[in-house]
Amino acid sequence: MTRAATSHVNGVVTAVGVALLYLPLLAVAVLSFNRSRFGVGWQGFTIDWYARVLHDEVVMRSAWNTLLLAVGSTALSTLLGTMLALGIARYRWPRRIEHALATLIHLPIVTPDIIFAAALVVAFRALRALTGLFELGLETMIIAHVTFQISFVALVVRARLETIGPEIEEAARDLYAGTFDLVTKILLPLIRPGIVAGALLAFTLSLDDFVISFFTSGPDSVTLPIYIFSSLKRGISPEIHAISTIIFTVTAMLAVALQSLTRKCET
């Protein structure tokens, strides 16, 4: 196959991949402006569905819960995941223990969400029986999200740490830098892009999660994914299209902003 033919095939494959990714989202965005409440036939342009969503107290409360859950779990998981990555990468563990720790980090990622969610519910019930705390609600949802977000943050930050050679730390030690100064003034600025990328990934995962949120939520901690799932039982309405479009737009804007911030951190 010639180079031109190979380039043409690659272009077609890329176009098909992009279409499969974004055409469904584009269809949802278009339908969110359709005047028709039922069906997909176009009956005129309107923004009434967005106005109804913004004035719906249940939707606004669900959006607020979603934001609190995402911000709280991202902050905790970023802190704990970064500490975990530093502990594994910079402590001289025996090889077997290091491999065991790496396996433990990967387990929450490869474990099916339904199994992880069921295990968390059992754990919260056991803790509530012992302590009287951990009533299902926003607090348990934050803890549940942190348990799987830590692994993603740790993997991203650890990958960044692997690019930093030991000679940098040795040079800092030769210049009489203590452990605290080494971590805060040398390592953290160097791994800042990895921390930002891990936080972005954790935030996106929290916004997207439904299964774990559904299992660990309470009556007053409904999030947008749970609200959308409940609404689907009555059929897909234009309000659902509007909510989905808003979520995608906000997530895309956040991704672009944090990507720009990551580039600035690298420079």
Domain regions of the chain by residue span: 48-266
Give 151-188 pLDDT, tens digit per residue. 999 999 988 888 877 777 777 777 777 777 777 788 88
Three-state secondary structure call for residue 150? helix
- Position 76 pLDDT exceeds 90: yes
Rg over alpha carbons for the chain, rounded to the nearest Å, is 23
Q: What pTM was computed for the model?
A: 0.82
Give the span between the Cα atoms of 171 and 180, in whole angstroms: 15
Top CATH class of 48-266 equals mainly alpha
Give 24-73 pLDDT, tens digit per residue. 888 888 888 888 777 667 788 888 888 888 888 888 898 899 999 999 99
The length of the chain in residues reads 267
In our burial notation (b when 16+ CB lie closer than 10 A, e otherwise), range 102-138 reads eeebeeeeeeebeebbeebbebbeeeeeeeeebebeb
- Cα atoms found within 13 Å of the Cα of residue 101, Cβ hemisphere only: 18
